[in-house]
Chains A and B, each alone.
Chain A
């Protein structure tokens, strides 16, 4: 309770300060208050980035949803946004799924607690374009064409590669997928979620498929691998979380590299490896809610996320930001951070929309029986 009141006090103070400073600057710069933020598709529509910042600060708050602090370094990213623009970030339900983000937008529509921006997996993004407002950030050209919807309805923001985290105090380093079927890994191997529900677990089955020599057209090889793993008594059907990793309940975890790397910095002995051969990646997507209660702040958040400053924070968190090639060219990449996670190279595979749909249908039919 105290914290909330405290925040409310700060909010009132900040609002008063902004109002006063707006009054003071009225004579010097043209006011941007007559811009309809909900339909603005670029900072230019506001009259430039400074005007966008001003409009966002007048709103004073930003509602984000499903952004855990330890996911791709979102904790630092939110904190920097708050500090830099003096806008309060309200972070709701950090652990819900992409589908639940859209459900929240539905349920909270018209309320000032509705999410302003989304961070979504690909399948949900493609199915939910009705919820998005198009917007193009200032450095739109730095984002490869393949990674954005042409009008800016949604844009890739970061990816990781599917990796294997393991506790080197308890188990040896897995050199291949088949190693995991051995006795060293009894009751040790876990997924981050159920593949019929969670994107990270879905990707783990995808990685197993290509590592077994299969193609992303047919996830059956991956399902077969996890069935073998289960029959060997090596699969533990517990969702991997920072808590299960710390307690030793999940000693080997298939997860995005940024999640496993985040654990490596806090759990003694936790190491991350990617198997030789195919590298499985999948971008998450950024989108602005068309019903955003803070439309200007939502657009400023998007500008901020694609700035070199925030994109570098993704790298610190172990993820590869979408503008990394442009940043490398411009020399703005955080070299120390990229040295830690290594470059993303090798035979990179990502399922297409059709491949994802086929795999989803197959998993819905076969998964429960495979690990039952």
Chain B
């Protein structure tokens, strides 16, 4: 893969320096140090961006959890994380994220497998590939309203179903505006995200492995159980974790759909910040954010471990 090649370019460039007649061997170590420095200088805009827009806001948000409104140090907000109500919210967030991640991963993987049967440079594969890239980013208020318009209680489809066939999809309550609705809506962007993250791994399966398998007398079954699955597993579970993190941190879609009870953590944070009836919980939002950060760090660590295992097979 191209990523694996990237670091090679830099030493290559450094080694080519002595070939220039104007540069003596004496100045070479200094040049090398300078080019090393330049390498990091090039990262400056990105580093500044990360510090300003990611690190500082995260630290500020999370540290507010350790203070009272008056600025005194306290652990009561952190203790508040273990209230039954807050634990329920974390459990619901886990549940929604896990279910949509598994559905997204399985459906997405099946679609990827089906796509392997098409030509790699064919129109169908590139169409699905680019459509997935767009749909994976289609979230937030726009997506929520798209669903309300499509299958909301007063939508064309809902009314048509009930008028024409007598089917009331809201027989058991308005599930679209409850956590059950989030399962449907989140799955909408989880499947395409799975396709764009998992398809490269499937494409990385080398034809020679299948040939070697049959040369040695293996069957299609042994190919999948002994070769393809073990090679793909880290990539599959890595993608699954990515999907989990994606759902766990989603806010805007849920905020536009679910307006009662704040059943998931991002909505609890909103409630703690904007409530005009339950006051003095602004710092609780920081503690909730800390809880989310802990979950995300664990998930991302797991993702990077699996990712490095995956890359062994992709060199």
Chain A residues engaging chain B, CB cutoff 8 angstroms? 96-100, 103, 120-121, 123-124, 127, 187, 191, 193-199, 202, 230, 233, 236-239, 247-249, 356, 360-361, 363-365, 367-368, 371-372
Contact = CB atoms under 8 A, between A and B. Distances in A.
28 contacts: A98-B276, A99-B274, A103-B273, A121-B276, A123-B276, A123-B279, A127-B279, A194-B259, A194-B260, A194-B271, A195-B277, A196-B271, A196-B275, A196-B278, A197-B262, A198-B277, A202-B277, A237-B178, A238-B177, A249-B152, A360-B278, A361-B278, A364-B85, A365-B85, A368-B261, A368-B263, A371-B260, A372-B263
B233 to A, nearest CB: 37
Contacts, number: 98
A372 B273 CA distance: 21
A237 B201 CA distance: 42
Given A233-B173, A237-B174, A249-B152, A191 B278 contact: no
A366 B274 CA distance: 19
A361 B274 CA distance: 16
B274 A197 contact: yes
Interface in B63-120: 85, 88-89
Interface in B267-285: 271, 273-280
Given A247-B154, A248-B154, A249-B154, A363 B277 contact: yes
Interface string B129-166: 00000000000000000000000111000000000000
B279 A124 contact: yes
B276 A194 contact: no
Contacts of A191: 260
A238 B276 contact: no
A356 B277 CA distance: 8
Given A187-B153, A194-B271, A368-B261, A360 B172 contact: no
Contacts of B178: 237, 372
A187 B173 contact: yes
Contacts of A194: 259-262, 271
B154 A197 contact: no
Contacts of B275: 97, 99, 196-197
Contacts of B279: 99, 123-124, 127, 360
B183 to A, nearest CB: 15
Given A193-B259, A197-B278, 6 more contacts: A99-B273, A99-B275, A123-B276, A196-B275, A197-B274, A367-B260
Nearest to B259: A239
B214 to A, nearest CB: 55
Contacts of B276: 97-99, 120-121, 123-124, 197-199
Contacts of A361: 278
A236 B177 contact: yes
Contacts of B260: 191, 194, 237, 367, 371
A202 B279 CA distance: 13
Nearest to A128: B279
A96 B275 CA distance: 10
B154 A187 contact: no
B170 interface: yes
The 4 closest A-B pairs by CB, nearest first: A237-B260, A368-B261, A98-B276, A239-B259
B231 interface: no
A234 to B, nearest CB: 9
A249 B153 contact: yes
A334 B263 CA distance: 46
Given A121-B276, A124-B279, A187-B174, A197 B271 contact: yes
B85 A100 contact: no
Nearest to A365: B85
A368 B262 contact: yes
Interface in B5-47: none
B258 interface: yes
Nearest to A368: B261
Interface string B241-273: 000000000000000001111110000000101
B57 to A, nearest CB: 14
A277 B152 CA distance: 36
A236 B258 CA distance: 11
Contacts of A121: 276-277
B90 to A, nearest CB: 13
A226 to B, nearest CB: 9
B255 to A, nearest CB: 11
Contacts of A372: 178, 261, 263
A123, A197, A202, A360 pick with most chain B CB within 10 angstroms: A197
B89, B170, B178, B277 pick with most chain A CB within 10 angstroms: B277
Contacts of B261: 194, 237, 367-368, 371-372
B174 A238 contact: yes
Nearest to A120: B276
A195 B275 CA distance: 9
A133 to B, nearest CB: 21
A87 to B, nearest CB: 28
B259 A196 contact: no
